[in-house]
Amino acid sequence: MAQEVDPEGTRTLAILTKPDLIDPGAEKNVLEIVHNKVIFLNMGYVIVKCRGQKQIDENMSITGAIEEELEFFRNHEHFRSLLREEKATTKCLATKLSNALVKHIKKYLPQMSENIKEQMGEVKHLLSQIEGGPPLEPAEKRKYLIQVITDFNEQITQLSKGDIIVEENLFELMGKEFAEWMKCLENAKSNYHEVVQQVVDEYDQKHRGSELPGFSNYRVFQHVVQKLVAELKRPAMMTLQTIKDIVKKQFYILSRERFKNHPFLHQVSKKNIETIQEKQSIIVQERIVEQFQMEMQVYTQDEIFNKHILEKGETAVYSFPSLPSRPSDPSPSSHPLLPSCPPHRSLPSNPPDLSLPSHPPDPSCRSHGSRRSRGSRRSRGSHASHRPDPSFPLHPPDPSNPPDPSNPPDPSHPPDPSDCSDEDTRSKYPGLLKAYYEVQCNTSTTQYVLLKECRRRRFRN
């Protein structure tokens, strides 16, 4: 057993007992053991003779037992030498044990003293952080409890404002989650055009009726927007849950630190935090659902929509005094809004007015007079002959006055569309006429006039 706890034998003092019961002839082996020749021990061996059972029954005193032990070793033929070496008798054993204890204390007492001082310093530091206990008077107890709860509420408010930090910055953690939400919104925009094109193609294949090409049903666009908005609802709820967990964790840590000496108050505060957060979470979820329901209503102001459309063009055009002349090429593809119209030279300067113009006819259109008359007869008088406005004649490009390459047009100051009658100006501002026609055809009245003009020209041709 001693070898298990002290394998090197540095802390073991061996004791041999009952030397009076050793068989004759075995004394030399015992002496070799006592002389540390068999199993070496740093503190050596001691042999003693204790009282036997007979002596205990006879009530022999300890003093008498010590005197008898001393007489035994003095008169023993083999063990008398051990008295001179101080390796026999109980008195010698006590002296050895006392000396070993004193050496051990002298060796380890300074180290123990340093450890005690360090532990005492730690305990004093902890005691300095502990506030005084609650008072004993009932009235003072009430004031003390109110003050503790008030201080906790103030710290909660400061934590919500970002004035204090508990382990981690609450606003920094929430900012990361909101940044992830913004990335989710940006990623949702990336496939918007693909989804729109898929839905429009599906509509054209399955549900298209008499609509003109490019004039899809409003419900198609509404369906696309609602589909994309609905896909963002689940990430929004996940962001809400993440923010909820972050706030709850920060509040729990603050409650644990503030109510370190009041575990019952800590449990009560945790329960109140969960209750309040659940109520607020329900309110926020209702707001999110309400916001998504509002986003499902696809709507925008006409001014905002038109402004956004015009900003995508080369020149922002809002209104012009009159309609520009048509290009000299009479191909149907030259007009972006009337792909099926037959060749014609000009459009009326005031589209909403369907009455006959009061000015005289343009001499350049005399060759078409008979065709107009025949067209009128075929239509049985249902359509009046159209007389082009002479204020918008077609001017072919002037070869003697080519455009100056050193003086390019200024995109920030486009010319008035009423002056865009020559091919040179049209070549400088290719998107101006298109933007103007888009503005002029923004209302249903203008579209009606354009369609009437198409039908009139079909009769005329």
CATH, residue 22: 3.40.50.300
Q: How many CB atoms are closer than 10 A to CB 160? A: 14
47-106: pLDDT as tens digits: 888 888 888 888 888 888 888 888 888 888 888 888 888 888 888 889 888 998 898 888
Q: What are phi and psi of 166, to 5 degrees?
A: -115, 105
Last residue of a domain, one of 69, 102, 135: 102
Whether 39 is in a domain gets the answer yes
Whether 351 is in a domain gets the answer yes
Average pLDDT over residues 163-169: 80
In the numeric block, the tokens 């696809």 are attached to: 298
Last residue of a domain, one of 75, 102, 129: 102
Whether 131 is in a domain gets the answer no
Average pLDDT taken over every residue of the chain: 71
Q: How many CB atoms are closer than 10 A to CB 458? A: 14
Whether 246 is in a domain gets the answer yes
Q: Which residue has the higher pLDDT, 370 or 279?
A: 279
Picking from 7-11, 217-221, 394-398, which range would have the lowest pLDDT averaged per residue? 394-398
- Considering the domain architecture, whether residues 252 and 175 belong to the same structural domain is answered as yes
In the prediction, which pLDDT does 214 show? 60
**What is residue 249's three-state secondary structure?**
helix
223 closest CA partner among 199, 240, 239: 199
Average pLDDT over residues 210-235: 77
452 closest CA partner among 382, 390, 389, 373: 382
In the prediction, which pLDDT does 454 show? 55
376-399: pLDDT as tens digits: 333 333 333 344 444 334 344 444
Distances from the Cα of 273 to the Cα of 3, 125, 238, 247, 353, angstroms = 60, 31, 20, 10, 71
Whether 20 is in a domain gets the answer yes
Write out 123-174 in H/E/C secondary structure. HHHHHHHCCCCCCCCHHHHHHHHHHHHHHHHHHHHHHHHCCCCECECHHHHH
- Considering the domain architecture, whether residues 189 and 266 belong to the same structural domain is answered as yes
Whether 327 is in a domain gets the answer yes
**What is residue 353's three-state secondary structure?**
coil
Picking from 3-12, 146-155, 226-235, 333-342, which range would have the lowest pLDDT averaged per residue? 333-342
Cα separation, 405 vs 120, in Å, equals 93
For residue 350, pLDDT over 90 is answered with no
- Considering the domain architecture, whether residues 312 and 456 belong to the same structural domain is answered as yes
Domain count, the chain: 3
- Considering the domain architecture, whether residues 266 and 317 belong to the same structural domain is answered as no
Last residue of a domain, one of 102, 118, 143: 102
Cα separation, 41 vs 1, in Å, equals 14
CATH number for position 234: 1.20.120.1240
For residue 311, pLDDT over 80 is answered with no
pTM above 0.75, yes or no: no
178 closest CA partner among 229, 232, 240, 233: 240
- Considering the domain architecture, whether residues 434 and 359 belong to the same structural domain is answered as yes
For residue 328, pLDDT over 70 is answered with no
Residue 382: domain span: 308-398+409-460
In the prediction, which pLDDT does 410 show? 52
| Top-ranked range on mean pLDDT: pick from 256-265, 281-290, 305-314, 371-380 | 281-290
In the prediction, which pLDDT does 215 show? 58
In the prediction, which pLDDT does 139 show? 84
- Considering the domain architecture, whether residues 346 and 448 belong to the same structural domain is answered as yes
- Bridge partner residues of 46 (DSSP): 15
- Considering the domain architecture, whether residues 434 and 328 belong to the same structural domain is answered as yes
| Top-ranked range on mean pLDDT: pick from 163-167, 301-305, 341-345, 369-373 | 163-167
- Considering the domain architecture, whether residues 188 and 169 belong to the same structural domain is answered as yes
- Bridge partner residues of 88 (DSSP): 47
The pLDDT confidence band at residue 456, using thresholds 50, 70 and 90, is low
- Considering the domain architecture, whether residues 282 and 322 belong to the same structural domain is answered as no
In the prediction, which pLDDT does 447 show? 52
For residue 155, pLDDT over 70 is answered with yes
Picking from 82-91, 110-119, 333-342, 420-429, which range would have the lowest pLDDT averaged per residue? 333-342
In the prediction, which pLDDT does 357 show? 41
Whether 61 is in a domain gets the answer yes
Whether 196 is in a domain gets the answer yes
Percent of the chain whose predicted confidence (pLDDT) is above 70: 63
- Considering the domain architecture, whether residues 418 and 439 belong to the same structural domain is answered as yes
- Considering the domain architecture, whether residues 319 and 232 belong to the same structural domain is answered as no
- Considering the domain architecture, whether residues 454 and 321 belong to the same structural domain is answered as yes
The pLDDT confidence band at residue 449, using thresholds 50, 70 and 90, is low
